[in-house]
Amino acid sequence: MGAFSYFPQTEEDIRIMLERIGVSSLDDLYADVPAEYIYKGEYDLPSAMSEQQVRDFFEGLAAKNSRLKVFVGQGAYDHYVPSVIPYITSRSEFLTAYTPYQCEISQGTLRYIFEWQSMICRLTGLACSNASMYDGPTAAAEAMRMCVASTKKRNSVIVSARLLPHVIDTIRTYAKYAGIHVVVTDKVAEEVAEGVLDLAGVIVPSINRFGIIESHLGLAELVHGMGALLVEYCDPSALAVVKTPAEWGADIAVGDGQSLGIPLCFGGPYVGFMACTESLMRKLPGRIVGQTTDASGKRCYVLTLQAREQHIRREKATSNICSNESLMALWCTVYLSLMGPDGMRKLNALCYEGSHYLHDALLATGKFGRVFDGEFLKEFCLKPLCNVEKLQQALLDAGFFAALQTEEGYVTFCVTEKHTREELDRIVEIVKSVK
Amino acid sequence: MSKIAEGLLYSESHEWVKVDGNVAIIGVSDFAQGEMGDITYVEMPDVDDEVSAGDDFGALESVKTSSELVAPVSGKVVARNDELEDRPELINEDAYEAWIIKVEMSDKAELDALLNAASYAEIAK
Amino acid sequence: MKYYDKLIFELSKPGRTGYSLPAAACPSETSGCAGPLPSDDGPLPLTVPRVARFPKGSCCQAADSVVWRESKLDLPEVSEVDVVRHYTNLSQMNFGVDTGFYPLGSCTMKYNPKINEEIANMPAFAGLHPLQPEHMVKGALEVYVGMDRALAAITGMKHFTFLPCAGAHGELTGLMLMREYHMSRGDTARTKVIVPDSAHGTNPASAAVCGLDIVVVKSKEDGLVDVEALKPLLGPDIAGIMLTNPNTLGLFERDIKQISELVHECGGLLYYDGANMNPLLGMVRPGDMGFDIMHLNLHKTFSTPHGGGGPGSGPVGVSDKVVPFLHIPHTSGFHGNFGVILRAYAYILMLGRENVKMAGKLATLGANYIKESLKGCYKLPIPTVCKHEFVFDGLLEDNGVTTLDVAKRLLDYGFHAPTIYFPLLFHQAIMIEPTETESLETLDAFIDVMRKIAVEARTDPEMLHAAPHNTPIGRPDETTAARQPVLKA
């Protein structure tokens, strides 16, 4: 064995340790493993690389990716990432810690999770938040499970077809094996009113996959009247300006924290959030941080309400989740601290203005038709009147990822504060040139 | 040494039953609360819910553990001790005072399967 | 570590900001937009003059007047320097692998190489949108192909899905695959999964979430699955068995061959819980032991940082017969935690085919060294050779000092505590896993402190009951936290 920087044992160290254990070789430590299972072949892996070689290797891979200006959202939004965030989140005290089991030496993690929970409550208007979930789609699936668990002997969930497709797919996957009956529909209110016999919950988007801010006026009353719970899937960045789940009367709010300063990173890691009303607090899945005091009266934070969780309840737990996306929650918490109420409002105003500018300018080219008339914030859909493939290719050639087709006859655009007037005008020029 | 109240019936899963006509008043034994430690939450069914003997009807939670509450008899829940919602510690303070639910029994014969104080004392050690 | 008592909200002062945004690119004058989002912090206008912007026969009606937020958004108003100092202060109350030894059993707290972080943060990866066309993300796709091949080589499985974001998420995905396999054969009666009593709590919980019933198989005195107890459980209703090998006691299930044959004979599949894969890294491949489905914890075995509880990554590998179903469960949003997968790939390339052979062995060496060094002071219920971790059942001498006391006292000495009160088979379990990245000197220092604590337990048990003494806070009142939950500021 040659020296390897992650293994500190010298030959001499190994000898001393083997001697203490009372065996003569490292292989002796595997005497309990049937010999036929000791792998004797050569592992089909590349030869060990030096750090420089690893760097070169990944730079080579990176060069095979095209760096595009992103004008598509669909659940992953290209917002600016303030430099403070990676600086803080790469501090190894945060980065290399485990789940905060030993609270006496984990107050840093526990405190920022408490802040995250507080901020999620403030964004959604709801009373309780957990310490975060894997991502938005899994949070939506867990919300579905929570609806079923919180309502007695009810097993059906109505899901809006206007949720993002990857959210619906994840919900369907979780439902399939748990035997939960999912109805995906464009007409949520009508479906609810029709009276599904064992309706446990209804899941709707705050802003739908076409970018339209939905009105859920009267929906909560209707859903509650059926004895079911209302779940809103939200973009937390937009919640600074659009009506909150609490204002719509929702019981549970879920969504993806990616829009709060997390890089696109090809889809992950992101972070799911989940908030609920006080009465559902003990049905929340996952970790929850609570405030308390230590023996000397100092304010401190602990993992709490753990009796809901898998390590205690095992098969009777509310969920099998035992981690969260703690570091990504820190990412969002730092972001929201930097932005404050004023920054979040201005950010949304920039997105609104930019997206409406592009929307109007694209319509003016005559290459698109309008498909929706609802209010939108940063993402919108148009009906292309030109060849979509040619349009997309022309945009890609100019370095723009835009006009993603959501389905036949619909393309989507998204504008954030990162995008300049020049870029928007350039897109319009390209569109004009497409035959 | 845990306390075992005389005159009550007990289940092997440490619930006690006090019979009041057709109604069973149900709680957990002093032994059970001692095993749990500080009880932090009592999960209870709603009034009018049906419970069946041998099935869970709720749970006790403490900081590091939880324990299912098993119905000793079947029937309809006619009352629950809402005071426990805010003060679960009442069970720690006096397990025989802090009843959890009252059930209108559908089959009084189920009481025959329960233990008397002396037999329960054999288990609660 | 010093105590710092502030929440970010408590630093807030109206008018302060920590953001830096560009001036409007498309102000309302140029776009004809009437500026629907006012700059003051009052409620948003109830009507947005969209019609004004589309004067000529626009099909767009006045916007829905009810969609804007009514309540004031109460976020902290702090400057950039406030934010940096606040979170730096918070970080200084935290213990990580970079702070010191972290022998947390079943968590594999190995060193997190720094090159991995740089790779994951490369803009050509971090800036990729998940829906970009495939020909524009060839480099990212090669990462998946390369990882699939590397993990298959290491585990003996055929292919992997990278959607799961954590170990428990991998278990759930793997069990879904187990169900797909049976359903594809019309074998719908297989709704039970066997789990040993020593299993991680996630195993039964994942099975329940997947709609499976749990059947518990007991362990023998020696901590291994009781094959005789397993036999009568097997039948046409069994979907499979979930095993951690080595198990949560750090013991290799040496009857694995027989277990594998029995389960397969009854028509079930074998699921491998990869939480304890580290000692097998470079030594034993789960695929060779007959496992059909497994997950790996990239944040354990493959060195990616735990991040205070995530993000992790729990790719699921399958054998030939399960490959056809691998694409079916859509258990997370896009392509899994790509940033974590990148880090793990960098680690594997550093290890290479040469160093990988030492990883598991050195992890096992460290665990046995600690076990043998401390068995004179701590009760060792199962004395046989362990793998990457082992379990003590409290102190040898009974001074009323609990495992919790020992764990808390370790914090005073600058070590993270082991996993405690798990597995549930023992009342005072202390589960120690050192990993291969710890030097002999570090292990010796830990051993010295554990011995010292055993002496303190004899001479000053009261002091141990009150430990820790040198940490930013003392033991918290967890009962009040759970009885009257305060979950937000």
- Residue from the list A282, A307, A316 with its beta carbon closest to the beta carbon of B65: A307
Residue contact C93–A342, C-beta within 8 A: no
Strand partners, B56: B70
Chain A partners within 8 Å of B49 (Cβ): 152
Interface with chain A: mutation pick from B50, B63, B68, B84, highest number of A CBs within 10 Å: B63
Chain A partners within 8 Å of B51 (Cβ): none
pLDDT tens, N- to C-terminus, chain A (435 residues):
458 999 999 999 999 999 999 999 999 999 999 999 999 999 999 999 999 999 999 999 999 999 899 999 999 999 999 999 999 999 999 999 999 999 999 999 999 999 999 999 999 999 999 999 999 999 999 999 999 999 988 999 999 999 999 999 999 999 999 999 999 999 999 999 998 789 999 999 999 999 999 999 999 999 999 999 999 999 999 999 999 999 999 999 999 999 999 999 999 999 999 999 999 999 999 999 999 999 999 999 999 998 888 777 777 787 899 889 999 999 999 999 999 999 999 999 999 999 999 999 999 999 999 988 889 999 999 999 999 999 999 999 999 999 999 988 899 999 999 999 999 999 999 999 997
Q: How far is CA C464 from CA A298, C369, C380, C468, in A?
A: 20, 26, 21, 8
Alpha-carbon dihedral angle through residues C312, C317, C323, C325, given to the nearest 10 degrees: -40
* Mean pLDDT of chain C, nearest integer: 91
Chain A partners within 8 Å of B68 (Cβ): 316
Enumerate domains of chain C plus CATH numbers.
1-17+77-94 (no CATH), 23-75 (no CATH), 114-351 (3.40.640.10), 360-465 (3.90.1150.10)
Chains that touch C (3 or more CB pairs under 8 A): A, B
Chain A partners within 8 Å of C355 (Cβ): 1, 4, 6-7, 48
Flag whether residue C478 sits within 8 Å of chain B, measured between CB atoms: yes
Chains that touch A (3 or more CB pairs under 8 A): B, C
Instruction: Report domain extents, chain B.
Output: 9-110
Distance CA A55, CA B70 (A): 60
Q: What confidence tens digit (pLDDT) does each residue in C38-47 have? A: 444 443 333 3
DSSP type of residue C313 = -
Candidates A125, A148, A155, A175; CA nearest to A283 is A148
Distance CA C51, CA A205 (A): 25
Distance from the Cα of B86 to chain A's closest Cα (Å) equals 13
Distance CA C355, CA C436 (A): 12
Distance from the Cα of A231 to chain C's closest Cα (Å) equals 17
Residue contact B64–A312, C-beta within 8 A: yes
* pLDDT score of C47: 32
Q: What pTM, to 2 d.p., does this model score?
A: 0.95
* pLDDT score of C53: 32
Residue contact B40–C482, C-beta within 8 A: yes
Say how many CB pairs under 8 Å bridge A and C. 719
Looking at chain A, which residue has its C-alpha nearest residue B66? A307
Alpha-carbon dihedral angle through residues C142, C144, C150, C151, given to the nearest 10 degrees: 180
Q: What is the CATH number of domain A84-334?
A: 3.40.640.10
- Residue from the list B62, B63, B66 with its beta carbon closest to the beta carbon of A313: B66
Distance from the Cα of A265 to chain C's closest Cα (Å) equals 4
Flag whether residue A83 sits within 8 Å of chain C, measured between CB atoms: no
Flag whether residue C477 sits within 8 Å of chain B, measured between CB atoms: no
Name the percent of chain A lying above pLDDT 70: 100
Q: Residue ranges of chain B with pLDDT lower than 50? A: none
Chain C partners within 8 Å of A241 (Cβ): 37, 44, 68-69
* pLDDT score of A318: 79
Flag whether residue A156 sits within 8 Å of chain C, measured between CB atoms: no
The DSSP H or E segment spanning C177 is helix C167-184
Query: Parallel, antiparallel, or unpaired for β A289-293 and A199-205?
Result: unpaired
Chains that touch B (3 or more CB pairs under 8 A): A, C
Q: How far is CA B33 from CA A229, A353, B66, C108, in A?
A: 34, 62, 11, 36
Q: What confidence tens digit (pLDDT) does each residue in A230-254 have? A: 999 999 999 999 999 999 999 999 9
Distance from the Cα of B12 to chain C's closest Cα (Å) equals 21
Domain A69-79+340-433, second-level architecture? Alpha-Beta Complex (3.90)
Chain B partners within 8 Å of C483 (Cβ): 38, 40-41, 88-89
Chain A partners within 8 Å of B64 (Cβ): 306-307, 312
Distance from the Cα of A376 to chain B's closest Cα (Å) equals 43
Distance from the Cα of C378 to chain A's closest Cα (Å) equals 16
Residue contact C478–B63, C-beta within 8 A: yes
Joined together, the tokens standing for residue B92 give 């720690």
Flag whether residue C252 sits within 8 Å of chain A, measured between CB atoms: yes
Looking at chain C, which residue has its C-alpha nearest residue B87? C483
Query: Parallel, antiparallel, or unpaired for β C192-196 and C213-217?
Result: parallel
Chain B partners within 8 Å of A150 (Cβ): none
* pLDDT score of A373: 85
Residue intervals in chain A for CATH 3.90.1150.10: 69-79+340-433
Residue contact C351–A48, C-beta within 8 A: yes
Residue contact B41–C478, C-beta within 8 A: no
R_g of chain A, CA atoms, integer Å: 25
* pLDDT score of C65: 55
Q: How far is CA A185 from CA A191, A223, A407, in A?
A: 8, 15, 16
Flag whether residue A13 sits within 8 Å of chain C, measured between CB atoms: yes
Sequence-ordered strand ranges (E) for C297-448:
316-318, 390-393, 419-420, 429-432
The DSSP H or E segment spanning C224 is none
- Residue from the list C26, C96, C252 with its beta carbon closest to the beta carbon of A32: C252
Alpha-carbon dihedral angle through residues C308, C309, C310, C316, given to the nearest 10 degrees: 140
Chain A partners within 8 Å of B38 (Cβ): none
Q: Kindly indicate whether the domain formed by B9-110 is annotated with CATH number 3.40.50.12780.
A: no
Q: What is the 3-state secondary structure (H, E, C) of C93-109?
A: CECCCCCCCCCECCCCC
Tally helices (H) and strands (E) across chain B.
Answer: 4, 9
Read off φ and ψ for residue A416, nearest 5 degrees. -120, 180
Read off φ and ψ for residue A72, nearest 5 degrees. -125, 145
Q: Residue ranges of chain C with pLDDT lower than 50? A: 29-64
Interface with chain A: mutation pick from C51, C85, C88, C94, highest number of A CBs within 10 Å: C94
- Quick check: C471 and A100 in contact, CB under 8 A? no
Residues whose CB falls within 8 Å of the CB of residue C199, separated by 6 or more in sequence, listed in order: C242, C244, C247, C248, C273
Distance from the Cα of C479 to chain B's closest Cα (Å) equals 6
Looking at chain B, which residue has its C-alpha nearest residue C424? B65
Chain B partners within 8 Å of A316 (Cβ): 68
* pLDDT score of C39: 42
Residue contact B43–A306, C-beta within 8 A: no
Distance CA B55, CA B49 (A): 13
Residue contact B38–C479, C-beta within 8 A: yes
Residue contact A307–B41, C-beta within 8 A: yes
Distance from the Cα of A48 to chain C's closest Cα (Å) equals 4
